[in-house]
Chain A
Amino acid sequence: EDQVTQSPEALRLQEGESSSLNCSYTVSGLRGLFWYRQDPGKGPEFLFTLYSAGEEKEKERLKATLTKKESFLHITAPKPEDSATYLCAVRSGDSNYQLIWGAGTKLIIKP
């Protein structure tokens, strides 16, 4: 059964304290892994797509990486405005239109 697990559920960091969020997945034929950011009371906002193991994408203080079993979202020197819930989703070979979503990691950056 296709599955996506994100850890930790919540992460509290001091401003400037770097860390990583994890997204572990089991799918039949990965056709894309997606990272989204969700602010309270808003819809998810797209960050990255990764397609194959070894691929990396960067945007400001965020870097996403992918292996055959998991993806990491690395946050370098975070700022309070990076506080949000980060969602991971995968698209498998079984369906063009269905994504399998993790429950998210709530990130809190304290000034």
Chain B
Amino acid sequence: NAGVTQTPKFQVLKTGQSMTLQCAQDMNHNSMYWYRQDPGMGLRLIYYSASEGTTDKGEVPNGYNVSRLNKREFSLRLESAAPSQTSVYFCASTQGSGANVLTFGAGSRLTVL
């Protein structure tokens, strides 16, 4: 039982480069989320998808785009990376509607030089 799988685990980018973080869950969950985690701060919601076919902005959406490709997959794209986007990114999912018990992936550590 894989749960939530994120790729890549590590990535180094130069300022202005683009990349996509991939996330897939095998629990048949409806809702999926992208968070970023920075030292000394709580997790911050970037985007979420309440159900297949819908996406909404979270607390810190600027500089990011998302795609809910199907019920299993939810990707996060950085179109033009900036040093301020250096962070650890977590994908999460939950069964029902609303942010209740979240299952998280292992995280993707992104460094933008």
Interface residues of A (CB under 8 A from B): 4, 32, 34, 36, 41-46, 49, 87, 89, 91, 95-104
How far is A49 from B98 in the complex, measured between Cα atoms in Å? 14
B41-49, B66-74, B77-85 - interface stretch = B41-49
Given contacts A97-B31, A98-B59, contact A44 B40 (CB under 8 A): no
Q: Is the interface of A mostly helix, strand, loop or mixed?
A: strand
Given contacts A96-B98, A97-B99, contact A43 B92 (CB under 8 A): yes
Residues in B neighbouring A101, C-beta threshold 8 A: 42-44
How far is A45 from B107 in the complex, measured between Cα atoms in Å? 12
Q: How many positions in chain B have a CB within 8 Å of any CB in the partner chain?
A: 27
How far is A91 from B45 in the complex, measured between Cα atoms in Å? 13
Residues in A neighbouring B103, C-beta threshold 8 A: 46
Considering residues B42, B44, B45, which has the most beta carbons from chain A within 10 angstroms of its beta carbon?
B42
Contact of B42 among A41, A91, A102 (CB under 8 A): A102
| A-B contacts, 27 listed (Cβ < 8 Å) | A4-B42, A32-B100, A34-B101, A42-B106, A42-B107, A43-B4, A43-B90, A43-B92, A43-B107, A44-B90, A44-B104, A46-B102, A87-B42, A89-B42, A96-B50, A96-B97, A96-B98, A96-B99, A97-B31, A97-B33, A97-B48, A97-B58, A97-B98, A97-B99, A98-B48, A99-B102, A103-B42
